[in-house]
Amino acid sequence: MPTDAPSTAGAQPPAWALAPFDPALAADLRQLIARLNGPQRLWLSGYLVGSLAEDSAGLAAAPASVPTGPPVATILYGSHSGNSESVAQQLGEALTRRGLSFQILDMLDCKKNHLQEASNILVIVSTHGEGEPPERAVPLHELLHGRKAPRLEHVNYSVLALGDSSYEHFCETGRQFDDRMQSLGAKRLHDRIECDVDFQESAQRWVDGVSDALALAHPATAPQAPSFFPGSAGAERAASPVANAYTRKNPFLAPVFLNQRLTARNSTKDVRHIEISLEGSNLHYEPGDALGIVPRNQEREVDAVLATLAFEPEHPVTVGGTQTSLRQALLEHFEIGLLSRPVIERYAEAVAAPALTDLLAAQEPEALQRYLHGRHLIDLIQEHPPQGLDAPAFARLLSPLAPRLYSLASSLQATPDEAHLTVSIVKYLSLGQDRQGVVSGWLGALEGDDAHLPVYLQRNPAFRLPASHDTPIIMIGPGTGVAPFRAFLAERESLGARGANWLFFGDRNFHYDFLYQTEWLQWRKSGLLNRIDVAFSRDAERKQYVQHRMLEQGKELFAWLQEGAHLYVCGDAQSMAPDVDRALHQIIERHGALSSEQAAEQVLDLQRQRRYQKDVY
């Protein structure tokens, strides 16, 4: 069951047993509270305590020190997997302890007037994609970088940037917010802090720093306010949504017990259904979460790279402050497949290669993209040998090897201790060579009883089933994007949820690529899946995709939305998600008889209500 689901069925949670409400009101309240996210609950608890204080002025029991009036600080968080959100709560607690008032806003809920009215803005934001803002931070990011950005001379601010140094664009979004706010006239209250994967310590340093700076500027108008989280230490609470024993630095070695091809032999794609055991790991995931796989390059590919180099494979190099051999570093720590602009820039600077310098300076931005497409490190070395460099200098040019994520396609409710993945194996021919993706290539070749995968849990609180089991859902998941929806349905089936379910699936060919076809049909037969609409792009002369099916079914889809349906999109971020988004706008515009601006506002509103959620990659 999703943790935020109301427990309407079965026994009353103990905390409610003696609550002074009649059962119907108690059930309503529990349902309502279950729909709120952390910051909304925090705000509500503060509001209730505050209004109680006002209502009962003079009553001994009333807490006297809850901050009222315009908040001293506006905490803005932009989060995908919940880390920034948890730090926002941590900061809220720190300000509460200093008697400072604040409001916490998800960036998606932040409008221009919030910026205009705020005097201290504390930004906590992660970076996703390839140096992009998290989905829910995009509108604010666009607002600040657009022509309609408000001037911020009246604002003091500070930025906490969350990121992962194994990505090329480390903490890029936080840096952009910081630069932009300063260029809009805001004044830094505290320096930006950039956090790597183990973010807690640096985040705490920033939380302490900004809270102290604010307390100094606003000598508390009230004595120490009571904590909104009685009996909990900030760091503990903040860590809880993300805490689990296994991380990418300390993954769980999970046995693989099934690796089955889902696509038919004649398919142009090789998509696998992989089942692994989580037994003994104590990893508890929810539908919508993903599993991270710690990558490792294949030995033969590393040896091929080493054969093109003049260095000894055992030559020592330093990675993250630790010494290891060049071969080991290439196996575990460096990207030897994909190249990127920063690698080419470093390489061009270190190795005299005018062709690369020209490419970087080219007027036409596509020139570099064309060069990078399908080119691996080995190609670069062969074209431009790293003469004059020693092994450590060469290693410093390379990019770190980032983990790969896979949506969980199973529900612990239905299959305890198991994790199922739906993986498309990346294989292609480039420069006359057969190439494959680092992790999917590895997964494709996994076989044997002793196969294991180093995994960790990547939570995704921004992609969750509705709290109410009665709420209808519409799931749009072509290709491997269908994976989380298998988890959604398995979960809803196990819980006996009554909400209606509608799936849009698409792929290339009906006969070869209909992933999990028998399962959908069984669920259709059992009544769990109320509707399924499919689009197979290569079966007809005119290509048909899920967005075409959505438009065909626009009237019905609009009616579902009017009935409160939540809409989910998972899969390709480049073409599919924008096309689906456009289709959704068109449907709302047409069937709601709205202007395009009004439709856009409705879509944003759906996002704000967490009824339009995307998990795209």
Ligand X SMILES: Cc1cc2nc3c(=O)[nH]c(=O)nc-3n(C[C@H](O)[C@H](O)[C@H](O)COP(=O)(O)OP(=O)(O)OC[C@H]3O[C@@H](n4cnc5c(N)ncnc54)[C@H](O)[C@@H]3O)c2cc1C
Ligand Y SMILES: Cc1cc2nc3c(=O)[nH]c(=O)nc-3n(C[C@H](O)[C@H](O)[C@H](O)COP(=O)(O)O)c2cc1C
Query: Residues in the site for ligand X, rule: CB under 6 A?
Result: 290, 337-338, 373-374, 404-407, 422-424, 426, 428, 430, 437-441, 480, 483, 615, 617
Sheet with 418-424, strands from edge to edge, namely 404-407, 290-293, 452-458, 252-261, 271-277, 418-424
Determine if 83 is a binding residue for ligand Y (CB under 6 A): yes
Which lies closer to ligand Y via its Cβ, residue 6 or residue 78?
78
Q: How far is CA 501 from the centre of its chain?
A: 24
Which lies closer to ligand X via its Cβ, residue 403 or residue 466?
403
79 binds, among ligand Y, ligand X, none (CB under 5 to 8 A by kind): ligand Y
**Residue from 76, 100, 122, 171 in contact with ligand Y (CB under 6 A):** 171
Angle formed at CA 133 by CA 356 and CA 295, multiple of 5 degrees: 65
- For ligand Y, the nearest residue by Cβ is 163
Binding mask 198-217 for ligand Y (x = CB under 6 A): -x------------------
Please identify, among the stretches 39-47, 162-170, 212-220, 297-305, the one whose residues bind ligand Y according to the rule CB under 6 A.
Answer: 162-170
**Residue from 167, 228, 558, 560 in contact with ligand Y (CB under 6 A):** 167
Closest CA relative to residue 442, chosen from 485, 403, 483, 397: 403
76 binds, among ligand X, ligand Y, none (CB under 5 to 8 A by kind): none
Please identify, among the stretches 164-172, 336-344, 356-364, 373-381, the one whose residues bind ligand Y according to the rule CB under 6 A.
Answer: 164-172
- In the region spanning residues 330 to 359, those forming contacts with ligand Y, defined by CB under 6 A, are none
Which lies closer to ligand Y via its Cβ, residue 247 or residue 325?
247
Which lies closer to ligand X via its Cβ, residue 399 or residue 422?
422
Cβ neighbours of 508 (radius 10 Å): 18
127 binds, among ligand Y, ligand X, none (CB under 5 to 8 A by kind): ligand Y
289 binds, among ligand Y, ligand X, none (CB under 5 to 8 A by kind): none
Provide, rounded to whole angstroms, the least separation between the CB of residue 572 and ligand Y: 14
Amino acid at 117: E
Q: Which two tokens stand for residue 66?
A: 């809850």
Provide, rounded to whole angstroms, the least separation between the CB of residue 491 and ligand X: 16
480 binds, among ligand X, ligand Y, none (CB under 5 to 8 A by kind): ligand X
164 binds, among ligand X, ligand Y, none (CB under 5 to 8 A by kind): ligand Y
Residue written as tokens 């009665």?
470
Determine if 485 is a binding residue for ligand Y (CB under 6 A): no
Which lies closer to ligand Y via its Cβ, residue 79 or residue 176?
79
Handedness of CA 50, 54, 56, 57 (dihedral sign): positive
Angle formed at CA 409 by CA 288 and CA 237, multiple of 5 degrees: 35
Provide, rounded to whole angstroms, the least separation between the CB of residue 460 and ligand Y: 8
Asked if 412 and 457 touch (Cβ cutoff 8 Å), the reply is no
Provide, rounded to whole angstroms, the least separation between the CB of residue 251 and ligand X: 15
Please identify, among the stretches 79-87, 382-390, 502-510, 560-568, the one whose residues bind ligand Y according to the rule CB under 6 A.
Answer: 79-87
Residue 423 CA to residue 282 CA, distance in Å, equals: 24
Asked if 188 and 120 touch (Cβ cutoff 8 Å), the reply is no
Which lies closer to ligand X via its Cβ, residue 150 or residue 241?
241
- In the region spanning residues 439 to 458, those forming contacts with ligand Y, defined by CB under 6 A, are 458
Q: Which two tokens stand for residue 254?
A: 């999970």
Phi, psi angles (nearest 5°) of residue 532: -140, 130
Q: Do β-strands 252-261 and 271-277 pair in parallel, antiparallel, or remain unpaired?
A: antiparallel
Asked if 507 and 536 touch (Cβ cutoff 8 Å), the reply is yes
Closest CA relative to residue 212, chosen from 167, 252, 158, 256: 158
Residue written as tokens 């330093």?
318
- In the region spanning residues 115 to 144, those forming contacts with ligand Y, defined by CB under 6 A, are 126-131, 134
134 binds, among ligand Y, ligand X, none (CB under 5 to 8 A by kind): ligand Y
Asked if 159 and 171 touch (Cβ cutoff 8 Å), the reply is no
Provide, rounded to whole angstroms, the least separation between the CB of residue 526 and ligand Y: 34
Q: Which two tokens stand for residue 161?
A: 């940037």
Determine if 84 is a binding residue for ligand Y (CB under 6 A): yes
Asked if 254 and 276 touch (Cβ cutoff 8 Å), the reply is yes
Q: Which two tokens stand for residue 431?
A: 């420069």
Provide, rounded to whole angstroms, the least separation between the CB of residue 56 and ligand X: 48
Which lies closer to ligand Y via its Cβ, residue 242 or residue 528?
242
Closest CA relative to residue 124, chosen from 142, 143, 145, 110: 110
Please identify, among the stretches 42-50, 77-85, 227-235, 333-341, the one whose residues bind ligand Y according to the rule CB under 6 A.
Answer: 77-85
424 binds, among ligand Y, ligand X, none (CB under 5 to 8 A by kind): ligand X
- For ligand X, the nearest residue by Cβ is 437
Provide, rounded to whole angstroms, the least separation between the CB of residue 41 and ligand X: 26
Q: Binding-site residue total for ligand Y (CB under 6 A)?
A: 24
Which are the contacts of 334, defined by CB distance < 8 A and separation ≥ 6? 297, 319, 395, 398, 399, 400, 401
Provide, rounded to whole angstroms, the least separation between the CB of residue 290 and ligand Y: 8
Q: Which two tokens stand for residue 123?
A: 């930004």
Angle formed at CA 344 by CA 342 and CA 350, multiple of 5 degrees: 105
Q: Which two tokens stand for residue 238?
A: 């903040």
Closest CA relative to residue 462, chosen from 566, 316, 391, 552: 566
Determine if 400 is a binding residue for ligand Y (CB under 6 A): no
Provide, rounded to whole angstroms, the least separation between the CB of residue 571 and ligand Y: 14
215 binds, among ligand Y, ligand X, none (CB under 5 to 8 A by kind): none
Provide, rounded to whole angstroms, the least separation between the CB of residue 577 and ligand X: 12
Residue 411 CA to residue 429 CA, distance in Å, equals: 36
Provide, rounded to whole angstroms, the least separation between the CB of residue 387 and ligand X: 28
Cβ neighbours of 516 (radius 10 Å): 20
Long-range Cβ contacts of 22-26 (<8 Å, 24+ apart): none
**Residues making contact with ligand Y (CB under 6 A):** 79-84, 126-131, 134, 162-164, 167, 169-172, 199, 405, 458
